[in-house]
Amino acid sequence: MEESVIAPKTILVVDDEQPIVDILVYNLQKEGYKTLEAYDGLTAVEIAVKEKPNLILLDIQLPRMDGLTACKKIRHTLNVPILMLTAKDEEIDKILGLELGADDYITKPFSVRELMARIKANLRKVDASMNVASEDYEEVEHDDKKTEPIIKLGSLVLNLSKFEAKIDGKIVDLTLREFEVLKFLSTQPNKVVTRETLLEKVC
């Protein structure tokens, strides 16, 4: 019997500085990831939509389209982890980036080891969502006879395969982190969940 081969994760690296892209690509490939490259925001959106990478490293200060705008546009199509890379360290920039759909925020200069750890942590969250324990979801049969893991709580329906949330049948636009928070809360019905617990289990 042939052993199943797990396809390597693909990461899109977006930065207008060639040396930074080269360093990131080198270290990512050394860790076994496939890489895609973009040097401006507009190209980043085009590549992201076409290639659907597993994670995106996105600089804020980019030509043609800034990283925050690119992040917002990518979020309309994809729900993959987006890590913002920037020389800015002002709190307002971090808040704006996260509100527009970023999952993490790393300020330059950064430690490559820390960046790799954050990449792995964000990818693990996605994998964990795809392999949620059976007691946390129901199997719903579709017309094509395939089943998808979902969580139902009143009018709320979470599709764990598509990272999609619906209330009364209407899709709710959420970031990956917001989806994870909602998923965790929905598996703790009638319980008070503290901020510390959320930080430990989700963030």
Q: Give me the CATH code for the 134-201 domain, please.
A: 1.10.10.10
Residues 83 and 103: beta-carbon distance below 8 Å? yes
- What pLDDT sits at residue 200? 64
- What pLDDT sits at residue 198? 67
Model confidence, pTM: 0.64
Superfamily of the domain at 10-130: Response regulator (3.40.50.2300)
- What pLDDT sits at residue 89? 65
Residue ranges covered by each domain of the chain? 10-130, 134-201
Helix residue ranges, H only, the chain: 18-30, 41-51, 67-75, 91-99, 112-130, 176-186, 195-201
Tens digits of pLDDT across the chain (203 residues): 444 456 789 999 999 999 999 999 999 999 999 999 999 999 999 999 999 999 999 998 899 999 989 998 998 888 889 999 887 666 666 677 677 778 888 888 888 888 999 898 888 877 765 554 334 444 444 444 445 578 887 788 888 777 788 888 888 877 777 777 888 787 776 677 777 676 666 65
* Distance (Å, whole) CA 184 – CA 166: 16
